[in-house]
Amino acid sequence: MIRIVIYEDNDPLRRSMQLLLMTHSSYEVTGSFGHAGRVEEEMDLLQPELVIMDIDMPGRSGMEALQLIKQKHPEILVVMHTVFGEDEKLFASLCMGASGYILKKTSPDKFMQYIQEALEGGAPFSPLIASRVLQTFRQQPVQQPDFPVSPRELQVLALLVKGYSYKLIAAELKISLDTVRKHIGQIYSKLHVSCGTEAVALAIRRGMV
């Protein structure tokens, strides 16, 4: 019997998944939880082969839980389960060792197929997720801001993302503090933001840096 544990805060959905998995004669759902607050103990105790992990849960997120599981039990397969794929969470999950990424809208038979594939050492993705992953291999044209930031501004932005203060940026680029201020002001207006944190968030999300 293959031991499977489910984390999913939506009760009805969790039960349906459990029932679905139990239709397979070699699957055994040895635990299913609405939150990941005790994921470490639960892994130690239940020792599953595979975990189905919802990403968005109250309290500890599926991302954190994934990290904790992989740290202590790298052999446990973790398949992420989510409504839709936000890029950062997707790629962060993959980096953290998720074995697959299944969208919740996936049909029951494909769901079962994906679980099977994961257990066979494959890496099941919902096709839309796979497509997103593919894009990173292409030199995807990044959506540009309304007014393009100049090369120099991009340099400044990159340092800002690294957490440099204006003073440090000025030193790094060998320009005056006032020039740094000027550049950053320009960047804000071009990106339509009004503070550093917002600019940094946008820059990372658009893959500008």
Partner DNA sequence: GTAGGTATAACACAATCATGTAATTGACAC
Partner DNA sequence: GTGTCAATTACATGATTGTGTTATACCTAC
Q: According to CB under 8 A, which residues from 49 to 108 bind a copy of itself?
A: 58-61, 63-64, 67-68, 71, 88-89, 91-100
183 binds, among DNA, a copy of itself, none (CB under 5 to 8 A by kind): DNA
Angle, helices 151-161/177-191, rounded to nearest 10 degrees: 100
Which residues fall within 8 angstroms of residue 137, CB to CB, at 6 or more apart? Answer: none
Site for DNA in 119-158 (CB under 7 A): 147-148, 150-153
Characterise 86 by phi-psi region: left (phi > 0), alpha (psi -120 to 50), beta (else). beta
Q: What angle do CA 156, 161, 166 make, to 5 degrees?
A: 50
Decide if residue 198 touches a copy of itself (CB under 8 A).
yes
**What's the closest the beta carbon of residue 134 comes to DNA, in angstroms?**
32
Q: Does 2 bind a copy of itself (CB under 8 A)?
A: no
Residues 22, 83, 171, 201: which binds a copy of itself (CB under 8 A)? Answer: 201
Shortest reach from residue 68's CB to DNA, in Å: 14
Q: Interface with a copy of itself includes 123 (CB under 8 A)?
A: yes
Tokens 């207006």, residue located = 189
Alpha helices in the chain (DSSP H): 11-22, 39-46, 62-72, 87-95, 108-119, 127-137, 151-161, 166-173, 177-191, 196-205
In angstroms, rounded to a whole number, what is the distance separating the alpha carbons of residues 116 and 51? 13
Residue 1 is a binding residue for a copy of itself (CB under 8 A): no
Q: Quick one: tokens of 105?
A: 């809208």
SS3 92: helix
Task: Based on the shown chain and the rule CB under 7 A, indicate whether residue 173 belongs to the binding site for DNA.
Answer: yes
Q: Which residues make up the interface to a copy of itself (CB under 8 A)?
A: 58-61, 63-64, 67-68, 71, 88-89, 91-100, 117-118, 120-128, 130-131, 133-134, 137-142, 144, 148, 151, 160-163, 165, 193-201, 204-208
Q: Footprint of DNA on this chain (CB under 7 A)? A: 147-148, 150-153, 165-167, 173, 175-176, 178-179, 181-185, 188, 194-196
